A and B are shown apart, each in its own frame.
Chain A
Amino acid sequence: MNTTVSPSEQEPGEPTGDDLRAAEYVLGVLDAAERREVQQRMIDDASLARRVEEWEQRFAPWLSRVAAVEPSALVWPRITQRLGWRTAAAKPALRDNAAFWRRTAALATAAALAAVAFGLTRPQPAVTTVAGEEQAARPVTVLARDNGAAAWIARVDAARGKVLMVPVPSPLDGSGRVNELWIIPVGGTPHSLGFLSNDKAHTIDVPAGLRNAVAAGAIFAVTLEDQSGIPHAAPSSPIVAKGSIQSI
């Protein structure tokens, strides 16, 4: 069978058919659709599967020729979560919004680690037990206090204009004021993104007019403000925590 080379492309001496397809698959030159086709066929076509295996063996010496890189400490626990070896965390009230919780779990874990890095606290066991399935991995921005302690972790979903904010819980200062989140574009002035909880993770909808401002290089900042009047036109008190967005 020769399904892989059109006559016009074929030249004498070229390998054809399944063996070529297997070689191309192993070499990694096929596009997404072609790869899926090979993978599907391998399920039922033992001969093709065998040819792929043979090509894997031929290239095996190169497979080991990569620099070893130690994975982060998060990888192993997540594998055991995916395998269901850990008891799931108490079911959250918003469990129907699975995507939200997956994101929150990922961020909470990051927050816990950041907190450890800053010597603030030990990771809470619960946050590592929420099943993390397929999720788009995105960079996070740490909002730190003046003393360097992590106060919030921000995760920007630019496509949907949302920012997930996960706090390292801390008490308010007792003045009755609350946290207000600001975005400060490069070379610009602060724009309010609204109320920010000091102890609960929540998603902030970025107003359409500010979405372009939430970009790499911009700064997230938090100030204490009167709850009434949020979003304010400008901050009225010093920044309590801030972080620069490295990448989205």
Chain B
Amino acid sequence: MDSNPQQLRDPANAAIDDLLYKVAAGDRSAFEQLYRSTASRLLGTCLRVLPDRLEAEDVLQEVFVTAWNKASQFDAQRSGGMTWLASIARHRAIDRLRGLPAQAAHAPIEFAETTADPAPAPAAAAEADAERTRLDDCLQRLEPKRRTLINSAFFDGSTYEELARRCGSPLGSVKSWIRRGLLQLRTCLES
């Protein structure tokens, strides 16, 4: 995307971008600073999809090793540093989750028929309205099933199959709801 309206350009994020550029140049002390300033948030990201603390901490190690090795690929014009790091963390955690033996099932998903968001993003309640993003607004416009499934999928890292099991709906329907929801989200975000 050419513009990044949702990418907060506050000083803290800019500092992370700068640290990543230094890391790309092989600056070890910048790398340690980067760790000190982002590790707790990235562990939170890993734990969200991978609740086992030891697994999550092992993934966190991988994330930072990857960050060191791939920092030269980071481009602040395309992605904020924190988003770049958190994406690595989330994907590593999901990959690890997929490699583990059958996990304890996530809670069943129940579709609320109200228009209120039945499953607000974690910590959302504690956030000021100012924190509410375009993404939240666009999600809110989806019909409840699509909204609930997309929210659960993102925050739990569940596969289509797991989501179908959790909500007791046919796999084909779940796929269709999510795919249509994704299209709507894209359209809304680009409007």
- State whether A29 touches B86 (Cβ < 8 A): no
Could you tell me which residues of chain B, from 32 to 51, have a CB within 8 Å of some CB in chain A?
32, 35, 39-41, 43-45, 47-49
- State whether A9 touches B136 (Cβ < 8 A): no
- Closest chain B CB from A129 CB (angstroms): 15
Residues of B within 8 A of A72 (CB): 57
Could you tell me which residues of chain B, from 70 to 89, have a CB within 8 Å of some CB in chain A?
78-80, 82-83, 86-87
- Contacting residue for B79 out of A26, A56, A76, CB 8 A: A56
Residues of A within 8 A of B (CB-CB), count: 49
Which residue of chain A lies nearest to B183 when distances are taken between CB atoms in the complex? A15
A117 at interface, CB cutoff 8 A: no
Which residue of chain B lies nearest to A59 when distances are taken between CB atoms in the complex? B154
- Closest chain B CB from A146 CB (angstroms): 29
Q: State the main secondary structure of chain B at its contact with A.
A: helix
B25 at interface, CB cutoff 8 A: no
A85 to B64, CA, bound (A): 13
A75 to B158, CA, bound (A): 26
Which residue of chain A lies nearest to B58 when distances are taken between CB atoms in the complex? A137
Could you tell me which residues of chain A, from 117 to 143, have a CB within 8 Å of some CB in chain B?
135, 137-139
Given A9-B176, A15-B179, A62-B135, check contact A28 B189 (CB 8 Å): no
- State whether B154 touches A74 (Cβ < 8 A): no
Q: Mark A7-43, 1 if CB is under 8 A from B, else 0.
A: 0010101110001100110111111100100000000
Which residue of chain B lies nearest to A68 when distances are taken between CB atoms in the complex? B40
Residues of B within 8 A of A70 (CB): 39-40, 43
Residues of A within 8 A of B115 (CB): none
A65 at interface, CB cutoff 8 A: yes
A54 at interface, CB cutoff 8 A: yes
- Closest chain A CB from B10 CB (angstroms): 11
- State whether A61 touches B133 (Cβ < 8 A): yes
- Closest chain A CB from B181 CB (angstroms): 9
Residues of A within 8 A of B133 (CB): 61
A69 to B60, CA, bound (A): 11
Categorize the interface residue count of chain B: 35 or more
- Contacting residue for B4 out of A9, A23, A57, CB 8 A: A57
A3 at interface, CB cutoff 8 A: no
Residues of B within 8 A of A242 (CB): none
Given A29-B163, A74-B57, check contact A65 B183 (CB 8 Å): no
Q: Which of B7, B58, B155 has the most CB of A within 10 A?
A: B58
B157 at interface, CB cutoff 8 A: yes
- State whether A23 touches B182 (Cβ < 8 A): yes
A137 to B58, CA, bound (A): 8
- Closest chain A CB from B134 CB (angstroms): 8
Given A32-B98, A59-B154, A76-B35, check contact A64 B64 (CB 8 Å): no
Given A29-B163, A31-B161, check contact A65 B82 (CB 8 Å): no
- State whether B87 touches A63 (Cβ < 8 A): yes
B65 at interface, CB cutoff 8 A: yes
- State whether A14 touches B55 (Cβ < 8 A): no
Could you tell me which residues of chain A, from 205 to 230, have a CB within 8 Å of some CB in chain B?
none
A60 at interface, CB cutoff 8 A: yes
Residues in chain A within 8 A of chain B (CB atoms): 5, 9, 11, 13-15, 19-20, 23-24, 26-32, 35, 53-54, 56-72, 74-76, 78-79, 82-83, 85, 135, 137-139
Residues in chain B within 8 A of chain A (CB atoms): 1, 4, 6-7, 28, 32, 35, 39-41, 43-45, 47-49, 52, 54-55, 57-58, 60-61, 64-65, 68, 78-80, 82-83, 86-87, 90, 94-95, 98-99, 121-124, 127, 133-136, 150, 153-161, 163, 172, 175-176, 178-180, 182-183, 185-186, 189
- Having A24-B179, A72-B57, one finds 20 other A-B pairs with CB under 8 Å, namely A5-B179, A9-B172, A14-B176, A20-B179, A27-B154, A28-B153, A28-B154, A29-B159, A60-B6, A60-B83, A62-B121, A64-B82, A65-B124, A66-B123, A67-B122, A70-B43, A75-B57, A76-B39, A135-B58, A139-B54
Closest 3 CB pairs of A and B: A137-B54, A32-B98, A61-B133
